[in-house]
Every structure is written in C-alpha cells, then in structure tokens.
Amino acid sequence: MDEQQAWLNDEEREAWLGLQSLFTLLPGVLDTDLQGLQGITLFDYHMLAMLSEAPERNLSMTDLAARTSASLSRLSHVVKKLEARGWVVRLQSKEDARVKIASLTTKGWDVLVQIAPHHVATVRSLVFDSLDDKDVKDLSRISRKIVRALDEEHWILDPA
Amino acid sequence: MDEQQAWLNDEEREAWLGLQSLFTLLPGVLDTDLQGLQGITLFDYHMLAMLSEAPERNLSMTDLAARTSASLSRLSHVVKKLEARGWVVRLQSKEDARVKIASLTTKGWDVLVQIAPHHVATVRSLVFDSLDDKDVKDLSRISRKIVRALDEEHWILDPA
C-alpha cells in the first residue's frame, strides 16, 4: 500500500471521530433506556420489532439473523432467552422440517406494543429531532454505502 | 405526545435501519480484526490512539474518558488491563495529587505503531473507500448533530 494513502486525511478523521463517537454512545444509551422499561436490550427490541412486522409474525431463523445483522449463534442465544420469558416460540417449518422458525407470541406482541412508543420517542429525541429532511436522506445514503461494504447482500439494501 | 408524531415516517425509518445496521455490524467487524492482530478491542485501540496524540502521551483519566466516550469506571477497568500488558501506566499529577493520569509507555507506542497501518487500512476499506468527499462532509455534520443530542459537551464538538 502507498504510505501516503494509508492515513486518513483531516476530513476523513473528522468524520471517523464523529461516527465512532456515535456508535460508542448511542447503542449504550438506547440499551440503558430499554433495560429500565422491561429489562430488554436494544438487540432484543429490534428482534421483536422485526418479527412483529413479518407475515403471521414469523420469520425463519436465517431471515431473522439477516434482519438483526446477527450470527445464527448469537440469535439462537437471544431467542432462547426471550422464549423463557414467553415472548417468542421456536417452531419447525411445515414445508421443510430443517427450517427453524421464530414466532412472536401474543405476550411478546403486547410487550412490544407497550414499550414501542417510549422507545420510538427516545430515538426521535436523540436522533431525528436534530436532523432536517436532507440530513435524514444523507444518513440513509451514507449508512447504506458503508453497510454494502460490510455485507453486499445485507437485507436493507434490497428490502422485499 | 401527539400520536401522529410518535412514529418514524418512511424516510426516517430507512435512515434508522441504515444507522442501526451500521452500528450493529461495523464495531464487531473492527473488533474482530484487531483481536486477530494483538488481542485488543476497538475500544482499547481508540484509547491508545488518543493517548498517542496527547502532549507527552499523557491524559488525565477524566480527559481520556471524554475522548473515548466512556464512563470513568469502564475506562479504569481497561486501563488496568492494558497496564498489565505494559502498554499504559497510571501516574499521579505533579500539580494536583487528586488527578490521575494515564500515560502511554514506549511499549504501548510500539504496539500502536505496529498495528495502526493495518487498522487504518481496514477502516479505509470498510468506510472511506465507499464514500465520496460530499459523503465524508455529510457524515461529519450528521454524526455531530446526533452526538450533540447525546452529550452537548462532547469533546469532538469543540476539539482543543
């Protein structure tokens, strides 16, 4: 590699400090906020939200892993934990017994309905209240460019 | 709160899925990459880098906590861990015995010099190779707007 090219220039360094500060701070604040509500993590919440939006509130474990940017082993651990709370059940696909399904229960749905307004209000106050329409579009564009570099088949790049 | 205002609109949802996918994926990939080099985390790296840029490679624990977006208790834990590897030492300020200083050792500096080119190349390939000059400026602006909502006295908003 060309040594001149190796380092970040001033503008890149500014952007990198901004992005790194953002991902060091924001998930922790959202986590703490949710833990105070129902003892769930941001990852748990996102998983429940993805199930709630799926047809019949079911997703295969593979699709759910994609939608939560998680490995199957991490996801499996979290699904077991939320199954113990009665919010999710694991099923076998009727079409293909090898396919494992995660399904949101009525109890899980009720929990999500209860906490969603608070969580969305937090996201709005910490993220969107500070951004104008152009910022929101720019953020969509830039985040997708980076997500594509991380995983060119990531589901948000081609939502069904 | 007005119920109509509570939910994210389509553009906000797109941006939020992008940002959330980004902060779910990127830190983990960078962590794994660094762990493979010297068994250090992204947080460890950032802490060493902040010390390396400070006058005499020293920062008070309070300033270092600010520069790493960390609580003092988290930082203290990490400094102890890296002190055990001989990369950092803790000192008392000569001016004020109540002020604790973290100082990068020569060994810590050498480790950083050794791994920095690889880490920067990874950040470049995952983040900056996909972004044009406008994206980089937009990312600086947007990330600072959100960081300001999280902590209006955050150090990146007013770098010395």
Average pLDDT over residues A26-41: 92
Q: Which residue of A has its CA nearest to B22?
A: A147
Calculate the CA B128 to chain-centre distance: 17
Q: Whole-number mean pLDDT of chain B?
A: 92
Q: Region A96-107: what's the mean pLDDT?
A: 94
Query: What would the mean pLDDT of B102-110 be, rounded to a whole number?
Result: 97
User: Of A68, A122, A127, which to mutate for an interface test with B (greatest number of B Cβ within 10 Å)?
Assistant: A127
- Whether residue B126 and residue A27 make contact (CB cut-off 8 A), yes or no, is no
Residue B4 has pLDDT above 70, yes or no: no
Q: Would the pLDDT of A3 be above 80?
A: no
Residue to test with chain A: of B44, B150, B152, B157, most A Cβ within 10 A: B150
Q: Which pLDDT belongs to residue A160?
A: 53
Is position A94 within any domain? yes
Contact B12 A137 (CB under 8 A): no
Instruction: Name the nearest CA neighbour of B127 among B27, B42, B41.
Output: B27
Q: Is pLDDT at A155 greater than 50 in this prediction?
A: yes
Q: Does B86 touch chain A (CB under 8 A)?
A: no
Q: Among A39-43, B104-108, B144-148, whose mean pLDDT is lowest?
A: A39-43
B10 located within any domain: no
| Amino acid B1: pLDDT | 44
CB atoms under 10 Å from CB of A144, counted, come to: 20
Poorest-confidence range of A1-5, A115-119, B56-60? A1-5
Nearest to B23 among A14, A23, A128 (CB): A23
Asked if B13 reaches chain A (Cβ–Cβ under 8 Å), the answer is: no
Averaged pLDDT, A122-147: 97
Q: CB distance A25–B151 less than 8 Å? A: yes
Distance CA B32, CA B80 (A): 22
| A67 to chain B: closest CA residue | B21
Cβ within 8 Å, pair A121-B148:
no
Would you state the pLDDT for residue B141?
97
Looking at the complex, report in whole angstroms how far the Cα of residue B100 sits from the nearest Cα belonging to chain A: 23
> In this structure, what token pair is assigned to residue A64?
């759910």
Residue ranges making up the domain that contains B82: 42-129
Separation in Å, CA A63 to CA A66, A73, A155: 5, 13, 9
Q: Would an 8 Å CB–CB cutoff place B118 in contact with chain A?
A: no
Residue A96 lies inside a defined structural domain of this protein: yes
Residue environment code for A74-100, b if the CB has 16+ CB neighbours within 10 A, otherwise e: ebbebbeebbeeebbeeeeeeeeeeeb
Distances (CA, A) of B138 to A128, A140, B88, B134: 15, 11, 35, 6
pLDDT of residue A1: 44
Q: Is residue A121 part of a domain?
A: yes
A17 in a domain, yes or no?
Answer: no
Residue A149 lies in a domain: no
Nearest alpha carbon to residue B105 among B84, B78, B74, B119: B84
User: Could you give the C-alpha distances from A52 to A76, A102, B7, B14, in angstroms and in order?
Assistant: 18, 11, 15, 17
User: Are β-strands B88-92 and A88-92 bridged in parallel, bridged antiparallel, or unpaired?
Assistant: unpaired
Counted domains in chain A: 1
Pick the closest to residue A148 from B72, B18, B78, B124 (CA basis). Answer: B18
CATH number at residue B101: 1.10.10.10
Out of A69, A131, A148, whose CB is closest to B24?
A69
Instruction: Compute the count of residue pairs across chains A and B with CB atoms less than 8 Å apart.
Output: 175
Among the partner residues B7, B135, B143, nearest to A22 by beta-carbon distance: B143
CA distance B115 to chain A (A): 12
> pLDDT for B34-83, tens place per residue?
999 888 999 999 999 999 999 999 999 999 999 998 999 999 999 999 99
Largest CA distance in chain A: 58
Residue range A29-34: mean pLDDT, rounded:
94
A2 touches chain B (CB under 8 A): no
Chain A, window 41-60: residues with a beta carbon less than 8 angstroms from a chain B beta carbon: 43, 46
Quote the radius of gyration of chain B (alpha carbons, Å). 18
In a domain, B158, yes or no: no
Query: Mean pLDDT over all residues of chain A?
Result: 92
Paired tokens of B103 = 């100082």
Section B135-139 average pLDDT: 98
| DSSP codes, B50-103 | HHHHSGGGEEEHHHHHHHTT--HHHHHHHHHHHHHTTSEEEEE-SS-TT-EEEE
ipTM: 0.91
The verdict on B139 touching A (C-beta cutoff 8 Å) is: yes
* B8 and chain A in contact, CB less than 8 A: yes
Residue A18 included in any domain:
no
- Min Cα distance B42 → chain A (Å) is 10
How many Å apart are CA A75 and CA A66, to the nearest integer? 10
